[in-house]
Amino acid sequence: MAERINSALNSASLNGLQLKNRLIKAGTFENRSPNGIPGASLTDFHAQFGRGGIAMTTIGYCAVENAGRLNANMLTMHEDIRSEITQLVQNIQKQDCKVAGQMGHCGAFSKNHTLKARPKGPSGGLNLLGFAEGMWFCDAMSLDDIDHMVDAYRDAAIFMKSVGFDALEIHFGHGYGLCQFLSPLTNHRKDNYGGSLENRLRLPLRVLAAVRAAVGDDFPILAKITMSEGRRGGLHYDDSLEICKALDAAGIDAIIPSNGTSTMNPMLMFRGDSILPALLKYERNRIMRFLLRLMGKKMFPALPFYDMYLLEQAKRIRAVVKCKLVYIGGATSGDNFTEILGAGFDFIQLGRTLLADPDLPQKLAVDPSYKSRCTHCNLCVGTIESPQGIHCPQFTDNSAT
């Protein structure tokens, strides 16, 4: 049993980047960068996973431009914070931990009050995130806006490689900007960027090509996708097979198949207890609190948690792509890791599991049967808006994280 479980702790390579084991901290928006400036809190948060033995941690949601931030406390990849980002990356790397940056753009979904105009996505309409804060609408992107977004990803990639990131993760999922182009629920365009899946893939593939050209062929690029939005007329599991085949053919190094969206169906992403109580605990906007109380039970229903709840659908992707595949979704124990790696996955991303147990790799090395303390209460989701930033309210010392 120990030999099988410890295979998760064996080293592996990702496009030439040697990782000391198969375990990666998933990107989660940390809310530890006030006014977009990273400091000691963000460094300490990620350094704890390095000390705990994780092979690579992912800085969550590195916006490629200011218009790509959901709010003003998100990081933007630009020269004004070069020294702070460089120090952040280097201090985490000192813990014998590689650092990936999750490249994101919110598109039409924003409450970033530093914007001088409406947020823009594939199509105009309501801005669901900013509605309660007076940012009611979003506009459709012009062709020039689309070209600008591609350039923003390219420029951010050049910057991120130059400050020392070991890998980049492009966020194509969870209802954010690139996912808005992929989804027929949010993309109603009549030009070459809308309609068929081939057209809806056009911008995401342009972004991947621009990032690849910026960092070179020997630099690791990962892609996080949504397999299903869980809504009628939205992205579904069969779509994800075609999306992954297109990314694979375009030269992606690894794919992370996730689920759901932050905008429409986040519980497909998490499972377990409803995130509504945690959202209400930390939400300060009275209008948003009213809307959450009015519609929250329908929007955020509890979904039964079970181990590896995305495994069977993710296996379908393993069968159609040649690139590396990173499993995410309910992996909580050495037994889980053994089964996942045995199914042909190359790495495992962990989110809530590591929030509860930042030293999980060390615990597995001592006790191969160890199972994470995470109860999938999902209280950590609400702490994204807390003064301390994201953490596990049950098992971690807030002052240390």
Confidence of residue 369 (pLDDT cuts 50, 70, 90): confident
230 φ/ψ sector (left φ>0, alpha ψ -120 to 50, else beta): left
- Determine the straight-line distance between the first and last CA of the chain, rounded to whole angstroms: 33
Q: What is the chain's mean pLDDT, rounded?
A: 93
pLDDT recorded at residue 132: 78
Q: Are strands 12-14 and 17-19 parallel, antiparallel or unpaired?
A: antiparallel
Give the pLDDT confidence of 49-73 residue by residue, as tens digits. Answer: 999 999 999 999 999 999 999 998 9
Distances (CA, A) of 97 to 312, 347, 372: 30, 15, 21
Residue 125 lies in a domain: no
User: What's the one-letter identity of residue 113?
Assistant: H
Distances (CA, A) of 210 to 21, 152, 221: 29, 9, 12
Distance from the Cα of residue 112 to its chain's centroid: 19
- Give how many domains the chain has, as a whole number: 1
Q: What percent of the chain has pLDDT over 90?
A: 80
| Separation of alpha carbons 75 and 156, rounded Å | 11
Contact 146, 164 (CB under 8 A): no
241-268: b or e for each residue (b if 16 or more CB lie within 10 Å)? bebbebbbebebbbbbbbbbbbbbbbbb
378 φ/ψ sector (left φ>0, alpha ψ -120 to 50, else beta): left
Contact 348, 22 (CB under 8 A): yes
Residue 130 lies in a domain: no
Is residue 370 part of the annotated active site? The answer reads no
- Hey, what are 336's tokens? 């889980």
Contact 67, 115 (CB under 8 A): yes
Confidence of residue 291 (pLDDT cuts 50, 70, 90): confident
pTM: 0.95
Residue 287 CB neighbour total at 10 angstroms: 12
Looking at the DSSP bridge assignments, the partners of residue 176 are: none
- Of 153, 176, 309, 370, the catalytic one is 176
pLDDT at 113 over 80: yes
Task: Quote the crossing angle between the two packed helices 40-51 and 82-93, to the nearest 10°.
Answer: 20
Q: What percent of the chain has pLDDT over 70?
A: 97
Residue with the bigger pLDDT between 399 and 360: it is 360
Give the pLDDT confidence of 278-288 residue by residue, as tens digits. Answer: 889 888 888 88
Residue 68 lies in a domain: yes
Residue 115 lies in a domain: no
Helical ranges in 9-81 per DSSP H: 40-51
Give the pLDDT confidence of 114-160 residue by residue, as tens digits. Answer: 888 899 999 999 888 887 788 889 999 999 999 999 999 999 999 99
**CB under 8 Å to 14, separation ≥6 — which residues?**
167, 220, 222, 253, 254, 324, 346, 347
Residue 114 lies in a domain: no
Residue 128 lies in a domain: no
Residue 135 lies in a domain: no
90: containing domain = 2-106+143-400
Confidence of residue 6 (pLDDT cuts 50, 70, 90): low
Residue 156 lies in a domain: yes
**Local structure of residue 257 (DSSP, 8 states):** E
| Separation of alpha carbons 7 and 100, rounded Å | 22
CATH of the domain at 313: 3.20.20.70
